[in-house]
Amino acid sequence: MRSRHQLPNFRIAVVGAGAIGLYYGGKLAHFGREVHFLLRRDFAAIRKRGLRLRSRTENLHVAKVEAHQSTAEIGPCDLVLVAVKTTSNPALPALLAPLLGERSIILTLQNGLGNEEFLAEHFGAERVLGGICYICLTRTEPGVVERFDPGRLTIGEFGGHPRPRTHDVAWEFKRCGVVCSVTADLLRERWRKLVWNIPFNGLAVVHGGIDTAKILADDTLRRLALELMDETIAIANAVGQNLPSALALEQMRRTKTMGEFKPSTVADYLAGQPLEIEPIWGEPLRRGKAAGLALPGLEALYQELRALGQKQGE
């Protein structure tokens, strides 16, 4: 691994200007990295007022943001952060092509299963890294992101062990104030995140857009959340990921510290946007069934979410 003073000076593109893309891209830009944002709905506001990242421990303002309305304007970059919702994946082949040079790296920060496979199919597995964002963020207004917990980022290679470039990218985040680690097993980390995403994103939506505190305060919903966590851990273990059963209680303790947090899927639901149903609920359910597991809780939640998604699409 290179020492810090030898790290490459990445030219970075951020595709997906929701809370995740704005936060991580904003941290990199605040600490002087060359970051180019593909912006649509927030373009005018961010060009005028910049980008602000807030929490109980930070209030950062990026006054001058490299904002663009097309990836062709940005051109080839060393590192491309993909933070669009998975419902936009069909648009990625055309969107990302102008950003890719011979050695460009794609780091997907998306939720659920199958995103690295999708990018590898279109751009080659050699380019693809995955990032797991353990963080509570909300885009409260154009160009403003609120952070509700300390958060951390874990990155890894798609289908392989960490390489020098994996550590280079991690160090780039670390030097910009992001708690970031490298994993030797990216898929296992994806399952760890699903242990939280499946119950809390799902139950928050099907119960009308409630926050995590309301789920924990309701005995029935809290029990459902634990049952869904147990089912998710069982699927992960059935497909060889070896997650401990104690992870469910660990995740419950972490959720308690979030306060009245509304997960990202709730924001999509309340805004009438498409829901990321297949990568977060559908694909884990299919893999669990293929392994011969009975998953009544996840099956019921998936069907409820599908019905809501179809209703929103009408």
Question: For residue 48, which amino acid is it?
Answer: K
256 contacts 136 by C-beta, under 8 angstroms: no
Pairing outcome for strands 34-38 and 11-15: parallel
φ and ψ at residue 100, rounded to 5 degrees: -105, 120
Backbone CA torsion sign across 31, 36, 42, 47 = positive
| Catalytic residue list contains 256 | no
12 contacts 32 by C-beta, under 8 angstroms: no
95 contacts 15 by C-beta, under 8 angstroms: yes
Which parts of 109-254 are beta strand (E)? 128-134, 137-141, 144-147, 152-157, 180-182
Identified catalytic residue from 174, 193, 256, 289 = 193
Q: Cα separations (Å) of 244 from 56, 188, 191, 249?
A: 32, 12, 12, 10
State the catalytic residues. Answer: 193
